[in-house]
Structure 1
Amino acid sequence: MTTGDSIGMSWFGIARIGLVQASLGAVVMLATTVLNRIMVVELTMAAAIPAGLVAWHYAVQLSRPLWGHGSDQGRKRTPWILGGIAVLAMAALLATQATLMMQSQPTLGFALAILAYSLIGVGVGAGGTSALALLASTVAPKRRAAAAALTWIMMVAGIVVSAITVGQFLKPYSPERLLMVAAGLAVTVICITALATFRLERGAATFAETAKSEPPPDFRAALQEIWHEKAARRFTIFIFVSMIAFSMQDLILEPFAGLVFGMSPGDSTQLGGMHQGGILLGMIVAGVGGSAFSGRLPSDLRIWIVSGCLASAAALAGFAAAAIHGPGWPLGINAFILGLGNGVFAVAAIGAMMGLAGAGEKTREGVRMGVWGASQAIAFGLGGLIGALGVDIARRVQTSDGIAFQLIFAIEAALFVIAAALATRVTNTRTQTRPQTHQDTEVFA
């Protein structure tokens, strides 16, 4: 244990946690974008099928508070991190095999896919929640938001690198090549995570404000404490609403590129990489700007969130126009601008989340990060499912694929405007180095 004046975990240690996040993002990219595209375009399935599988893996992540509570009990988070990533990697390989079986053995393929996406949810929940809890409990309060931004930047970098690399290795596409690429990715992320977490917790200090003097409460009591805190409750609701807007295009962007613009699997995967590259730059811009983390002005966080939401809405309006314009539209630039707005918004939200992580009187970081992670996961699942179902319905009703996608992109743009309006109530209070109370850390005015 140390005091709030210590610097806590070094930047090198924080970067190691970032490698875990990068590994997690790389595997999730394969399951939620590449396999989604293969099912919709190559296997000519309804978009609702992969959307349902992705939504199910998010639903499984309702277990995040349980994983966080478990790591709180033992105060050793590394085994949870490594075990979660290993389960995630193997589950993604199983999901790839299941996808390839869906055409020749549909019943067995779908059954294996449900199992695989269930395990993906378990892996993300156990590994991701424990990594964030370790970050929140061993990093000095004044560094937490910046540290969170760094790890998220590394996660997005991992997604970008893996999307571009996987896209290249999938050219020319074949089922056998897809399986080989998935196997190589699984082995790579397990090795990276094992190296990144080796002796990571040895000698790591836990800050006084996070090391409660009494044992952590049981799981039900911990959830009740969090929900009765005005700041935590309102922040949970904000995360839920904003992340639905954030995720609606996730499962339709690559099918949009394939159906409307005629892109190959490798090209549409690289388009996703452009989007993630924009997110990366947006995070860097917001992080370097520093306003989201300074806590000196109540409007700091609100400005970044609103700006990111409105930029995202504008980019989605561009996609709506592209759906009618067709080939010739600068689709890569449009995807990059969308990512830029997404990244600015995400860093601001992460800053608020990390600032509240250690604010509980009794609860610890694991269960609190689990609650917010579960809220985010359900929002992501609903957003992706709503987007995909909306496209399926619109494609049946409308006269062309372009008009169908235009409608969904326009709805998503409107949701981002609504999220920006909600964000006008967001305030950022001064950074504390002592134990925070709910009066100190109120997120919504």
Structure 2
Amino acid sequence: MTIDNSSEQFPTPNPLEGKPLPPIPLLTMFRLGLYQMGLGIMSLLTLGVINRIMIDELKVPALIAAGAIAMHQFVSPARIWFGQMSDAKPLWGYHRSSYVWIGLILFTSAAFLAMQVVWQLGASIQVNGFNGIAYLWAGLLALIFAGYGLALSASSTPFTALLFDVSDEENRSKLISIVWSMLMVGIVIGAIISSKILHR
């Protein structure tokens, strides 16, 4: 009776398995936190400022404005799907970075498109009142915010998985605390910028 020594029965061990990941320098942690800081700024400048402009300046009904903007939250369950996608299907050889960059480009582009639609919606209301054309613009704005939410999900969930991938149990808590603290910093910066812009 012969013994099968093939690699299928005795798989070759991974030389990196069981070895701790190299510690993440403090500067790298803050560099990773820039992404979250940018999200904080974007959340204030897009969602908060657009909401205020639509209701106070353009006289869009609050229910319509809030409903259109809230569409980015209705698609948030897609985060689970994008997380699984980044696990199973790498893009251009990267499991996380490609999704982060593509999502980032898409949600910033969606924010720009949303502003253009907001101006068209406001102009339509001023000329014709809130009629069928205004409802079409509001529907288009809701679709753009849904795309904004999908792009945000495609970027932020793989980014969170990236933080887990590059850290181990010893420095993961420090990394997560710094990165999420910078989200709060971004929200504060966005609030200061938006208040300065709206008071001019």
The TM-score range, normalised by the shorter chain, is 0.7 to 0.9
Q: How does 1:144-223 map to 2 (within 5 A)?
A: 144-172=172-200
Q: Please, what is the CA RMSD of the aligned residues? A: 2.0
Q: Quote the sequence identity (%).
A: 29
What residue is the counterpart of 1:125 in the other structure? Answer: 153
Residue 158 of structure 1: how far off its partner (Å) = 1.7
Residue aligned with 1:45, SS: coil
Partner letter of residue 52 of structure 1? G
Residue aligned with 1:141, SS: coil
* Partners of 2:52 and 2:178 in 1: CA distance: 30
Q: How does 1:25-104 map to 2 (within 5 A)?
A: 25-73=40-88, 74=90, 76-104=95-123
Alignment check: 8 A CA contact 1:29 1:159 kept: yes
Partner letter of residue 180 of structure 2? W
What residue is the counterpart of 2:169 in the other structure? Answer: 141
Residue 72 of structure 1: how far off its partner (Å) = 0.9
Q: What whole-Å deviation, never above 9, does each CA across 1:320-375 have from its counterpart, x for those lacking one?
A: xxxxxxxxxxxxxxxxxxxxxxxxxxxxxxxxxxxxxxxxxxxxxxxxxxxxxxxx
What residue is the counterpart of 1:20 in the other structure? Answer: 35
Residue 108 of structure 1: how far off its partner (Å) = 4.3
Q: Looking at both structures, which has the greater relative contact order when contacts are Cα pairs under 8 Å and sequence separation is at least 6?
A: 2
Q: How does 1:307-346 map to 2 (within 5 A)?
A: none
Residue aligned with 1:104, SS: helix
* Partners of 1:163 and 1:88 in 2: CA distance: 20
Partner letter of residue 18 of structure 1? G
* Partners of 1:22 and 1:55 in 2: CA distance: 21
Residue aligned with 1:102, SS: helix
Alignment check: 8 A CA contact 2:36 2:182 kept: yes
Runs of 5+ unmatched residues, structure 1? 173-445
Alignment check: 8 A CA contact 2:34 2:182 kept: yes
Residue 19 of structure 1: how far off its partner (Å) = 0.8
TM-score where L is the length of structure 2: 0.76
Partner letter of residue 161 of structure 1? I
Alignment check: 8 A CA contact 2:44 2:194 kept: no
Partner letter of residue 145 of structure 2? Y
Residue 143 of structure 1: how far off its partner (Å) = 2.0
Runs of 5+ unmatched residues, structure 2? 1-15, 125-133
* Partners of 1:104 and 1:83 in 2: CA distance: 32
The count of residues paired between Structure 1 and Structure 2 equals 172
Residue 3 of structure 1: how far off its partner (Å) = 3.8
Higher Rg: 2
